[in-house]
Amino acid sequence: MSDKTPDLHAAYALDSPEDHKRLYAEWAGDYDEGFATREDYQLHIHTARAFVGAGGQGPVLDVGAGTGLCGAVLARLGVGPIDATDISAEMLDQAMRKDIYRDAIEADLNEGIPVPRESYSGIVSSGSFTHGHLGPEALTALLRVARPGAQFALSINAQHYEKVGFAEALHRLAQGQIRNLTLPEVRIYGDLASGPNKDDTALIALFERA
């Protein structure tokens, strides 16, 4: 294990699945208090509320669930059942301790999700479509496991959205695979944040599978 505590800068610089597994194995035990609370992280709250506000319902797949921050908000809002998927077994272990998930699925989204087609009525993701993490190519795997009419709420770091081609990918999908796309912009962190990324924003891609 590294002597350096994992941080957002290290997470944004990740390059391979092995890098992800290594960093999040180190970060899992301290993520909620050492990052989310300290930095007044709010994106999971915005994402869950947007999903519910758009009429989202279970069964839901929480993509890049991490320690279960977004799932916990969904559960408080009465959404369920919820399954968690993440590349990190250690993060999923923390998530399952919250006793809000029906199942945990360890998977690299770029290689697909080992569940049957059309398994979910809702897909949420908070914090995974960002620098060093997932790009628009992962949307195909999510559409495969979504039922027709399934509600999506995917947070996408605003800088990442512009940089890696989400606009083009979503425009292409809107030609027949998705419908009712909206992109509200939200702050990733609250007023108590003090780090260099405290003013960062994200777009929440809200749409339904056609």
Burial class (CB in 10 A: 0-12, 13-18, 19+), 194: exposed
Separation CA 137–CA 149 (nearest Å): 21
Q: Supply the pLDDT for residue 37.
A: 65
CB-based contact 71:133 (threshold 8 Å): no
The pTM of the full predicted model, rounded to 2 decimals, is: 0.87
Phi and psi at residue 198, to the nearest 5°: -60, -25
Domain annotation for the chain: domains and CATH numbers: 8-209 (3.40.50.150)
| One pLDDT digit (tens) per residue for the chain, 210 residues | 333 444 444 445 444 456 555 665 555 556 556 666 677 889 999 999 999 999 999 999 999 998 999 999 999 999 999 999 998 888 899 999 999 999 999 998 888 899 999 999 999 999 888 755 678 999 999 999 999 999 999 999 898 887 889 999 999 999 999 999 999 999 999 898 877 778 889 999 999 999
Length of the chain: 210
CB-based contact 66:31 (threshold 8 Å): yes
Question: Where on the phi/psi map is residue 24: left (φ > 0), alpha (ψ -120 to 50), or beta?
Answer: alpha
Q: Supply the pLDDT for residue 36.
A: 64
Helices (H) and strands (E) in the chain, counts: 8, 8
- 3-state secondary structure (DSSP) of residue 145: helix
Q: What would the DSSP string read from start to end of 49-60?
A: HHHHHTT--SSE
Q: Supply the pLDDT for residue 2.
A: 39
CB-based contact 150:208 (threshold 8 Å): yes
* Tokens coding 81: 């059942």
User: Which residues, in sequence order, are bridge partners of residue 201?
Assistant: 187
Separation CA 28–CA 32 (nearest Å): 8
Closest CA to 65 of 29, 35, 93: 93
* Tokens coding 89: 């077994």
